[in-house]
Amino acid sequence: MLRTLALGLALALSCTRGPAEVEARPNPLPTLAEPRAVTSLPASAPPQARAEDAGPSLAGEAAPPAPPGTPEAPKPEASAKGRVRVSILARGELLRSEQRALDGLKTALARRVTLELGEATEDERTFAVAHLDEAAAPSLPAAWSAFETVIVLEVLAPRGVKPSRFSRGLGGVLIVRPPRVAPIFVERVEGEVGTPLGDDTLPVSLRDALSLAEDPA
């Protein structure tokens, strides 16, 4: 009786410690894929970010008009100050678990920054793939002039076939500070070194990336 009670209490305690330990170290284990994949990202950001999402399509979008009183050729960053775009470069169909993780990432980031998160447009894909595959890089997507920072997250194509697909997680990362064409940060991956999209450290890392001090030549 006494032993059962002690073991029960200890088991309960050890169960409450489990998740914290898992979160402390990135878990490389893949996530079981859901049979249905979601290809669009729902707008679940706070009102401030949602209002920006409601604007025109990113592809080919011009920079917003300069406020009155600015010089004739305003620098794009004048109106882009504080605005961040996170562009998702999915190399395959997004799994539902990946969709959920991205929604969580959006929520976590939107608490601190004026954020727009969405799937990569065609010209964003072209730009990002060129950098991640080390090909000749094209010019910046025009819509990026409206942002102070653009972060491209590559979601690796899942492993396996339906209905047993597994997430391979986060692949490459690009951080661009328009109008500068060259990214200030490029992370490329080869092989099975993707990290979980639901990694708790990812939102913090992306948020901290916004405060990296640019130091042009």
Least distance in angstroms from the C-beta of 105 to another protein = 14
115, two tokens: 């954020």
217, two tokens: 């030549």
Q: How far is CA 140 from the centre of its chain?
A: 18
Q: Which of 10, 59, 62, 130 binds another protein (CB under 8 A)?
A: 10
Least distance in angstroms from the C-beta of 31 to another protein = 14
Closest CB to another protein among residues 37, 197 = 197
- Please give the single-letter amino acid code of residue 15: C
Least distance in angstroms from the C-beta of 50 to another protein = 29
Tell me the C-alpha distance between 121 and 185, whole Å.
Answer: 20
Least distance in angstroms from the C-beta of 13 to another protein = 6
Dihedral class, residue 210 (left if φ above 0, else alpha if ψ from -120 to 50, else beta): alpha
Q: Residue 157 carries which DSSP code?
A: P
Contacts to another protein from residues 160-189, by CB under 8 A: 173, 180, 182-189
Q: By CB under 8 A, which span of 32-40, 98-106, 136-144, 193-201 interacts with another protein?
A: 193-201
CB 194 within 8 A of CB 96: no
Q: Which residues bind another protein (CB under 8 A)?
A: 2, 5-7, 9-11, 13-14, 17, 24-26, 28, 173, 180, 182-195, 199, 201, 205, 208-209, 211-217
